[in-house]
Amino acid sequence: MAMLALMFTITLVQFAGEGRSGWQPKSDLVKRLSERRPSVIYDETQVPRYTLPDPLVCLDGTRVTAPEIWREKRRPEILELFRTYMYGRAPIGRPKEMKLETFDHAREALGGKAVRKQVRIHFTGKPDGPSMDLLIYLPQDAPRPVPLFLLLNFNGNHAVCNDPAIRIKPTFDRRTGEAVMPSEESRGQDASSFPLEKILARGYGLATAYYGDIAPDFPGSFGHGVFAAFDGLFGEERPADAWGAISAWAWGLSRAMDYIESDGELASRRVGVLGHSRLGKTALWAGAQDERFAIVISNDSGCGGAALSRRRFGETVALINRAFPHWFCENFKRYHHREDDLPIDQHMLIALIAPRPVYVASADEDLWADPRGEFLAAKAAEPVYKLLGTNGLPADEMPPLDTPVRGRIGYHIRSGGHALAEYDWERYMDFADLHYGHRR
Ligand code: GTR
């Protein structure tokens, strides 16, 4: 009898671990995508067997049995592994010469609903060096200091909101790297991904910057932006673990945090760092390294973000490095079709955020980003959260569509495709309310 009970438990665990339970992708979508790209895994039955590295076993084989061992030994070790093998090492923290220039402070923005600030962060302190414009909106009537969501945007600050006062700067073509001056008509073109009025109405502020201000996103990126300004610190040659673009963008988020800490109107201890897709990978890496971020949110971040590399479902290490050779460090290119040899997987990235709240979100039709791989990574980070005395992700299998699960780790899979949607924002604000103890 005891034997039978044991077998039953093991089978259940394996079933959940194999990932065939809970949410299922639409079969016609799986069929269509598989036909379009037969070499890509879109069918769960084709996922190879894999074993994840244990986040609670150190490289020397010792087990992490106490929070201090996690903090002092295993967490620094895992950070170092991600720096060495995947994202690459940023050469500097806050540069000594960095300067903050507030060039706009409007107390009556958006028809009196908001306070707007624009701050230029001169990374090298030199006016002709790389700089990032941080655009901030705060609710007029919320108590100070104001909790914030901080995120990078894809197309320039002016695209976030149709506010003629937002300073327009050149953006970079993602194929050629060519700088282009955006048109007046493109103001507010991405507003659907930034439901500003709703955010303000719930008592949160929004801070955003254009990721290209940090480094342009194209295969020739090295040599531009912060790479041009700081790569000299490495010496003559770029090492195989030098920062890739995701690391550079994450570094930029930390510089935004430097500003936030200097502004008394902003609640620097209640900043949720968030990002969509490649910028979701960026938000996770920023939040993993910089513990000033109170909450970390990944929206459809997929491969190189929240999704487990070992599953090879949808986008893989080889595919991402070929399409975006500048995102990760050179060392990561040694793991094409060899994911099992990596000393890390993405559950360990999420675990680095512990015990701070983290939220992973997927979308039903976004199979390229491997929703199940994202859920399983969030779940596999749980032992670290529990070791640190919190709960983890209170779900043993993927929840149905549009049904958020909220513990110290949160998760949802939304109906629809790859996007940062209003539904996602609402869940992130619910999650922040819960963890900050805000009453609604
Ligand atoms: C895709 C890429 C993904 C994801 C996405 C995005 O082309 O394969 O990893 O980052 O771009 O950022 O929109």
Within-domain flag for 137 = yes
- Residue 319 Cα to ligand 1 midpoint, Å, equals 11
Residue 69, token pair as written in the block = 């061992």
Do residues 117 and 244 both lie within one domain? yes
Residue whose CA lies nearest to ligand 1 atom number 13: 277
In 3D space, the residue among 260, 266, 115, 195 whose CA is nearest the CA of residue 429 turns out to be 195
From residue 133, alpha-carbon distances to 275, 334, 423 in Å are 17, 36, 27
pLDDT for res 21: 78
> Do 138 and 252 belong together in one domain?
yes
Ligand 1 and 276: CB distance under 6 A: no
Question: Is there a domain that residue 400 lies in?
Answer: yes
| pLDDT at position 12 | 33
Residue 385: inside a domain, yes or no?
yes
Expressed in angstroms and rounded, the spacing between residue 383 Cα and the centre of ligand 1 is: 29
Question: What distance in angstroms lies between residue 237's CA and the mean position of ligand 1's atoms?
Answer: 29
- For residues 120 and 192, state if they share a domain: yes
Mean pLDDT confidence for 104-123: 97
On whether both 249 and 194 belong to a single domain, the answer is: yes
User: Do 106 and 140 reside in the same domain of the chain?
Assistant: yes
Q: Which residues are catalytic?
A: 277, 418
The closest residue, in CA terms, to atom 8 on ligand 1 is: 320
Among 19-28, 81-90, 319-328, 394-403, the least confident range? 19-28
* The domain boundary residue, chosen from 225, 251, 268: 268
Q: Is residue 154 located within the same domain as residue 235? A: yes
Record the pTM.
0.96
Domain identity same for 112 and 74? no
Atom of ligand 1 nearest to the CA of 302: 9
Residues 106 and 72 in one domain: no
Same domain flag for 103 and 250: yes
Q: Which of 223, 245, 268 is the last residue of a domain?
A: 268
Q: Is residue 285 part of a domain?
A: no
Specify the ligand 1 atom closest to the Cα of 320: 8
Per-residue model confidence as pLDDT tens digits over 248-285 = 999 999 999 999 999 999 999 999 999 999 999 999 99
Count the domains in the chain. Answer: 2
Percent of the chain with pLDDT over 70: 95
Mean pLDDT of the chain: 95
Q: What is the CA radius of gyration of the chain?
A: 21
- Measuring from atom 10 of ligand 1, which residue has the nearest CA? 278
- Residue bearing the CA closest to ligand 1, atom 12: 278
Average pLDDT rounded to a whole number, residues 296-304: 99
For ligand 1, whether the C-beta of 331 sits within 6 Å is: no
For residue 315, being part of any structural domain is answered with: yes
Dihedral sign of CA atoms 411, 413, 418, 419 in order: negative
In tens, the pLDDT along 167-195 reads 999 999 999 999 999 999 999 999 999 99
Query: Could you give the count of Cα atoms lying within 13 Å of 198 in the half-sphere of its Cβ?
Result: 15
Check residue 268 and give its pLDDT. Answer: 98
Q: What is the pLDDT of residue 14?
A: 36
The verdict on residue 60 lying in a domain is yes
Q: Is residue 73 domain-shared with residue 178, that is, in the same domain?
A: no
* Nearby residues of 38 by Cβ (< 8 Å), 6 or more positions away: none
Q: Which tens digit of pLDDT belongs to each residue from 400-439?
A: 999 999 999 999 999 999 999 999 999 999 999 999 998 7
Q: Are residues 67 and 129 in the same domain?
A: no
- The atom number, within ligand 1, closest to the CA of 279 reads 12
Residue 359 domain flag:
yes
Of 268, 293, 319, the residue at which a domain comes to its end is 268
Is the distance from the beta carbon of residue 278 to the nearest atom of ligand 1 less than 6 Å? yes
Does 19 score more than 60 pLDDT?
Answer: no
Cβ of residue 320 lying under 6 Å from some atom of ligand 1:
yes
- Give the distance between the most distant pair of CA atoms in the chain: 75
Indicate whether 279 belongs to any domain: no
Please state, as a whole number, how many other Cβ atoms lie within 10 Å of the Cβ of residue 348.
25
Domain ranges, residue 49: 2-8+27-85+301-418
What pLDDT is recorded for position 118? 99
| Ligand 1 contact via 302 beta carbon (within 6 Å) | yes
What mean pLDDT do residues 198-227 have? 98
Instruction: Identify whether residues 76 and 109 lie together within a single domain.
Output: no
Q: Ligand 1 pocket test: which of 153, 249, 277, 324 has the largest number of ligand atoms within 8 Å of its C-beta?
A: 277
Q: What does the block give as tokens for 156?
A: 């320039």
Which of 315, 316, 326 is the pocket-test mutation for ligand 1 (most atoms within 8 Å of CB)?
Answer: 315
Cβ-defined contacts of 237-242 (< 8 Å, 24+):
238/330, 239/89, 239/330, 240/329, 240/330, 240/331, 241/83, 241/84, 241/85, 241/88, 241/89, 241/329, 241/330, 241/331, 242/88, 242/89, 242/91, 242/329, 242/330
